[in-house]
Amino acid sequence: MKTKIYTIGSGDDDKAFRTAAKLIRSGKLVCFPTETVYGLGCSALDGEAALRVFRAKNRPADNPLIVHVAQPSETERFAFTNPLFEKLAERFMPGPLTVVLKKKDIIPKEVVCGGDTVAVRCPSHPVAHRLIAECTVPIAAPSANLSGKPSPTTAAHVISDMNGRVSMILDGGDATFGLESTVVRLLDDGIVILRPGAVTREMLMEVTENVKVDPGVTDPSSVHGPVASPGMKYRHYAPEAKVILVDADRENFRDYVNRCGVFGDGVLSFVEDLPFYRPCLTKISIGRSSDKKDECHELFAALRRADELKCARVFVMKPSEKGVELALFNRLIRASECKITTPEKTT
Ligand code: TXA
Ligand code: MG
C-alpha cells in the first residue's frame, strides 16, 4: 500500500485533514500525533477497520484499543459515565488521561477484544483534536509502533514502522510528553492506575484520596492470567539492545557503567554527564537531569537510537517511583524484562 505522508503546515492543511477524515470514515488507517505519542487510528465504530489496526501492528488479539473522542461530553454515547468520571474529565480532559468505563453496544466487539469495558481518552493535541472532530466518529487508536517496539514520538519513528501499512501519516512534529497516557479504572470510591503517565498519582489524588497503583505497574512479573489491562502482560517498549536498569545514584551509576560497559555498549545519560563516560561507550542523551519531563520526552527516542547505533546493551539509571518517574519506571522495568541491577557501592 502507498502511504500518503503530509507534514502539517507544509501546504494545504484543510485538504489534508479532509482527506484523513474521509479515509478514517471509509475504514482506512491514519497515523497522527497526540500530546503523548503518535497514534494509529481507525473509526471506532467499524469492527473491520479495528481488525486492520491489529494486523498493521502485529498486535496481540486480546489487547483492546483506546477510543479517542473530540470532547469529553461525547463519552456517554459510547460508555456509561458516572460522577467520578465527570470530575476527572473536568480536571484532566482534554489531556493525557484514559478512563476505562463499561461500554455501550455502539462500540464493536473488535475494538475492545470482546470485553465489556472501553477505554476513553480525549487528546489535547491540536492535530489529534481537529482530526477526530472532522471525522465525526470517534477514533480507535493504539500507539503507532509495531507491537513490541518503543512507542513512536516522532513522525520518523512512525514512518519507519508503518510506511506501507497505513493509508496516511500526518507529521505534526514531536509528540509533546513522549510517554503514553495514564490509564485508570474507577472503583466505587476511588481510582486504580493501570498504566502511569503524565497525569500522576499525586495529581489524581487532588480529585479523590483513594488512588491505588495496580501491582502490575511496577512488577510485570506479578501479572498472570486475566488482568485488569491486557497491555500489562506484554513485553512492551523493548529495543533490540538488552536494557540494563541500574538502581544507583548518579555518581554510582556513572562508576558502574564505566567499570562494566564495554565497546558496543550504550548508556542513556543526562546531558551534563555525557563527558564523564569512557569514549568506547555509545552515549545517548536523555536531556537535563533537572527536568524529568526531558527524560519522558526522550526515553523512547533514545531506546530506538540505541538500536540504530547497534548497541548490544544499553545502561539506564532506575527512576524513582514518585510523580512522573513512575511512568518512566513502568516503561523501563518492561524494557529490562523485570531485571534491576544493584551495583556494590564504591563511594
Ligand atoms: O497515549 C496513549 O494512550 C496513546 C495515544 C495514541 O492515545 N495510545 C496508546 O494505546 O498508548 P495503546 O493501545 O498502545 O495502549 C493502550 C493501553 C493498553 O495497555 C491496553 O491494554 C489498555 O490501554 N486498555 C485499552 N482498553 C482497555 C480496557 N477496556 N480495559 C483495560 N485496559 C485497556
Ligand atoms: Mg502501545
Which pLDDT score is estimated for 204?
Answer: 98
pLDDT in tens, 307-322: 999 999 999 999 999 9
Q: What does the pLDDT average to over 186-203?
A: 96
pLDDT in tens, 149-192: 899 999 999 999 999 999 999 999 999 999 999 999 999 999 99
Query: What is the 142 CA–ligand 2 centroid distance (Å)?
Result: 5
H helices within 136-278, ranges in order? 155-162, 201-204, 250-260
Q: Is the pLDDT of residue 9 over 60?
A: yes
Which pLDDT score is estimated for 231?
Answer: 72
pLDDT in tens, 236-262: 667 899 999 999 999 999 999 999 999
Q: What does the pLDDT average to over 6-13?
A: 97
Which pLDDT score is estimated for 264?
Answer: 96
Distance (Å, whole) CA 128 – CA 41: 10
| Residue of 98, 110, 179 to test ligand 1 pocket, by largest number of atoms within 8 Å of CB | 98
Say if CB 158 and CB 144 are below 8 A apart: yes
For helices 155-162 and 292-308, the axis angle rounded to 10 degrees is 40
The CB density around residue 159, as the number of other CB atoms within 10 Å, is: 17
Query: What is the 271 CA–ligand 1 centroid distance (Å)?
Result: 31
For helices 292-308 and 325-335, the axis angle rounded to 10 degrees is 20
Nearest to 289 by CA among 319, 266, 314, 311: 319
- Atom number of ligand 1 nearest to Cα 181: 1
Say if CB 103 and CB 174 are below 8 A apart: no
Q: CA dist 130 to 23, 89, 134, 251, 315, Å?
A: 15, 19, 6, 46, 39
Q: Is the pLDDT of residue 345 over 70?
A: no
Q: Is the pLDDT of residue 145 over 90?
A: yes
Q: CA dist 11 to 6, 16, 182, 190, 213, Å?
A: 9, 9, 34, 47, 45
| Residue of 229, 237, 296 to test ligand 1 pocket, by largest number of atoms within 8 Å of CB | 229
Which pLDDT score is estimated for 328?
Answer: 97
Q: Name the residue with higher pLDDT: 154 or 292.
A: 154
Which pLDDT score is estimated for 193?
Answer: 98
Q: Which residues line ligand 1 at a C-beta cut-off of 6 Å?
A: 34, 36-37, 39, 63-66, 98, 100, 112, 115, 117-119, 121, 141-143, 180-181, 183, 194-195, 229-231
Which pLDDT score is estimated for 269?
Answer: 96
Sign for the CA dihedral angle at 82, 86, 87, 88 comes to positive
- The average confidence (pLDDT) of the chain is 95
Q: What does the pLDDT average to over 192-207?
A: 97
Distance (Å, whole) CA 50 – CA 324: 31
Which pLDDT score is estimated for 260?
Answer: 97
Which pLDDT score is estimated for 233?
Answer: 66
Q: Is the pLDDT of residue 346 over 60?
A: no
For the chain, percent of residues with pLDDT exceeding 90: 91
Which pLDDT score is estimated for 310?
Answer: 97
Query: What is the 317 CA–ligand 1 centroid distance (Å)?
Result: 26
Q: Tell whether omega for the bond before 94 is within 30 degrees of 0, i.e. cis.
A: yes
For the chain, percent of residues with pLDDT exceeding 70: 96
Backbone angles phi, psi at 282, to 5 degrees: -90, 120
Q: Is the pLDDT of residue 222 over 90?
A: no
Distance (Å, whole) CA 297 – CA 132: 24
Which pLDDT score is estimated for 225?
Answer: 65
**Burial track 199-229 (b if 16+ CB lie within 10 A, e otherwise):** bbbebbeebeeebebbebbeebeebeeeebb
Cell triple for 198? 503524565
Return the H-helix or E-strand segment holding 20.
helix 13-25
pLDDT in tens, 319-333: 999 999 999 999 999
* Furthest-apart CA atoms within the chain: distance in Å: 62
- Atom number of ligand 1 nearest to Cα 197: 1
Say if CB 298 and CB 178 are below 8 A apart: yes
Query: What is the 100 CA–ligand 1 centroid distance (Å)?
Result: 9
Say if CB 40 and CB 180 are below 8 A apart: no
- Atom number of ligand 1 nearest to Cα 115: 29
The CB density around residue 264, as the number of other CB atoms within 10 Å, is: 14
Q: What does the pLDDT average to over 84-113?
A: 98
Backbone angles phi, psi at 326, to 5 degrees: -60, -35
For 2, counting Cβ atoms within 10 Å of its Cβ (0-12 exposed, 13-18 middle, 19+ buried), the class is exposed
The pTM of this model reads 0.96
Ramachandran sector of residue 173 (left: φ over 0; alpha: ψ -120 to 50; beta: rest):
left
Residue closest by Cα to atom 29 of ligand 1: 118
